[in-house]
Amino acid sequence: MSYNIFQIIKEGLKGNMGWVKTWRNPNIKKKYDVIIIGGGGHGLATAFYLAKEFNIKNIAVLEKNWIGGGNVGRNTTIIRSNYMLNENEAFYEFSLKLWEGLEKQINYNAMVSQRGVLNIFHSDAQKDSFIRRGNSMIINGADAELYDLNKIKSIYPFLDYQNARFPIKGGLFQKRGGTVRHDAVAWGYAHAADKLGVDIFQNCEVNNFKFKSGSCVGVETNRGFIKANKVGCAVAGSTSLLLSKADMVLPIESHVLQAFVSESIKPIIPGVITFGAGHFYISQSDKGGLVFGGDIDGYNSYAQRGNLDILEDVCESGLALMPSISKARLLRMWGGVMDMTMDGSPIIDKTHIKGLYMNAGWCYGGFKATPASGWCFAHLIAKDYSHSLSENFKLDRFKNGYMIDEKGQGAQPNLH
């Protein structure tokens, strides 16, 4: 079923009884050309682009829980392309361009809202580094503007301009950045992929791979063995666990990242704002809740729930920026398990086993990357060589010394 205004009117007149499920619940075939493990944003996007752009028809997506229950529903919904390193910036700018045309392409309202992302700086040195980043963004075809203090005061009057410790000096603004309804991204990609014939299976957990003379020929699941020519893993958070079945040890640690939502309040924040003197980012959802987050908890965890000292740290940073939110009550908080890599950048690559591909290591930048990640991973699976935008996201870069360390932190995942 395709969604449009006429359908809404028609269904409105008929008591909304004619809507069918967004995606089918098909029977598992014995064999697929491509199996994607992981029905999150990246896995579904991969399946969609494989079918749409690379003309592969016989595809299955296997999800161990339900669609939208993993990290695609556990983030702060921000999209942006404000990186400095060329390897990252070109990729994330491609992603932002795909976000801009996404809803039309998947025929689904994902509430893509380019309400602007403002990165505030608090010192002259930080201003210099933000200008440098802004120039790098512009070179890579993205948009970036430098806002001075007066401009920020006029648009964001609620920030604390009296803070002596962290004075607001200005900001780097990306107008095309913004927010997207995160679980609608998963549902939308599932809807669009299903329409192109992709089979989506929920509650279907992969327990092992099957190898035959050095090639991956299928997967063992809780619903039996499924044969496949090619298998792609898009299970960020659990990559180390899944690929340990293929005897791989990866440059990844799994860490918990928390996100928080306050009670609904009247519209106050016009876009996304980040604090430059700590780690804090905030936006306001269309329902009025303040959506915010900060650092990862900082230690290995698969628990999908976080600790209170990070909550305290995030709230302290938030109040240093905008004390007016101190009375807002916290409504919800949740944790997602992140693949934190040793350089803070992702991995989209083949493995040492023929027919087995990996898409992993999204640290906590995975949501905004969803469309480009799916596209580049689909390219890799379909053509057996990397898309030019992801050719630097190789697994062997750690061995060869070609790290993509955006923050320059070195090989310590909890600092990225």
Our CB check for another protein shows the closer of 270 and 298 to be: 298
Q: In the complex, what is the shortest distance from the CB of residue 336 to another protein, in angstroms, rounded to a whole number?
A: 15
DSSP 8-74: HHHHHHTTT-----SS--PPPPSEEEEEEE--SHHHHHHHHHHHHTS----EEEE-SS-TT-SGGGS
Closest CA to 276 of 86, 88, 78, 117: 117
Tokens standing for residue 74: 């556990």
Our CB check for another protein shows the closer of 16 and 244 to be: 244
Q: In the complex, what is the shortest distance from the CB of residue 391 to another protein, in angstroms, rounded to a whole number?
A: 20
Which positions touch another protein (CB under 8 A)? 238, 240-241, 244, 249-254, 298-303, 307, 309, 313, 342, 398-399, 411-414
Our CB check for another protein shows the closer of 47 and 363 to be: 363
Can you tell me the distance from the alpha carbon of 261 to that of 314, in angstroms, rounded to the nearest whole number? 12
Q: In the complex, what is the shortest distance from the CB of residue 370 to another protein, in angstroms, rounded to a whole number?
A: 23
Our CB check for another protein shows the closer of 57 and 305 to be: 305
AA letter at 103: E
Q: In the complex, what is the shortest distance from the CB of residue 297 to another protein, in angstroms, rounded to a whole number?
A: 9
DSSP 271-290: SEEEETTTTEEEEE-TTSEE
Element (H, E) at 264: strand 252-264
Give yes or no for a contact between 119 and 172, defined as CB atoms under 8 angstroms apart. Answer: yes
Our CB check for another protein shows the closer of 199 and 295 to be: 295
Can you tell me the distance from the alpha carbon of 225 to that of 28, in angstroms, rounded to the nearest whole number? 10
Give yes or no for a contact between 301 and 255, defined as CB atoms under 8 angstroms apart. Answer: yes
Give yes or no for a contact between 340 and 413, defined as CB atoms under 8 angstroms apart. Answer: yes
Our CB check for another protein shows the closer of 183 and 405 to be: 405
Q: In the complex, what is the shortest distance from the CB of residue 80 to another protein, in angstroms, rounded to a whole number?
A: 25
Our CB check for another protein shows the closer of 126 and 414 to be: 414
Q: In the complex, what is the shortest distance from the CB of residue 118 to another protein, in angstroms, rounded to a whole number?
A: 25
Rg (CA), the chain: 21
Q: In the complex, what is the shortest distance from the CB of residue 301 to another protein, in angstroms, rounded to a whole number?
A: 5
Q: Collapsing DSSP states into helix, strand and coil, what is residue 226?
A: strand
